[in-house]
Amino acid sequence: MNPVDPDNPGGGFQPEPGDEDNHGTGSTGNLTLDYVSNLTFKQEATTGQTLSATATNTKAFIQVSDRRYNGAGWKLTLLAGYPRGQSNGEILSQSSLTMGATKFTPAIANTVSNPPVTTLGDQQPVKMGESTLVGEAGHDAGIGTWLLRLNDNSASPMRLYFNSAQVTRKQSYAGELTWQLTEAP
């Protein structure tokens, strides 16, 4: 399914500035991960030994479509990879990620029910290098197209934390966030 604009589900999709080349995953089938925003982080503060960077995307979302119509449910997991220096390949192995405020919303208003969402809490860290359950549609929920809004509350955005002692030079860092959608048991 084509991406849906989270701020105007009935209108045309407008990618966020900086993510204009992202037109969706192209996934096909009855249970699909249709769209995943590319996230950008900006360093904010240093507190003692800890550096933090906050996601700057204001319209970031993940789009899930369940066209099976059997009510079996689904699970959405995130595998967060360690950030790597773009100049020297340095890996920030002492890092963590918090999801911040997230919320599932239906892509169309007449969707029957909200899927129950497993949240980590705004400040609970995602374990880097391990799959973490971030959303779940239980039995008879999650049918249709759903948007997992990221950075849903500007007071509680997605954040990365690093041990400042690991940062040996000023450079850009990039990491991979792998989202996986599976059928619920």
Domain-located, residue 7: no
Domain-located, residue 58: yes
From CA 32, how far away is CA 86, in angstroms rounded? Answer: 32
Domain-located, residue 86: yes
The percentage of residues in the chain with a pLDDT greater than 90, rounded to a whole number, is 44
Chain mean position to CA 21 = 18
Per the structure, how many domains does the chain have? Answer: 1
Q: Rounded to two decimals, what is the model's pTM?
A: 0.89
Q: What is the pLDDT of residues 113-126, one digit of tens each?
A: 555 555 555 666 78
Domain range spanning residue 173?
A: 31-183
Domain-located, residue 67: yes
Domain-located, residue 10: no
Domain-located, residue 51: yes
Q: Which residues pair with 55 in a beta bridge?
A: 41
Q: What is the pLDDT of residues 6-46, one digit of tens each?
A: 877 777 888 888 889 999 999 999 999 999 999 999 998 67
Domain-located, residue 8: no
User: What's the CATH code of the domain at 95?
Assistant: 2.60.40
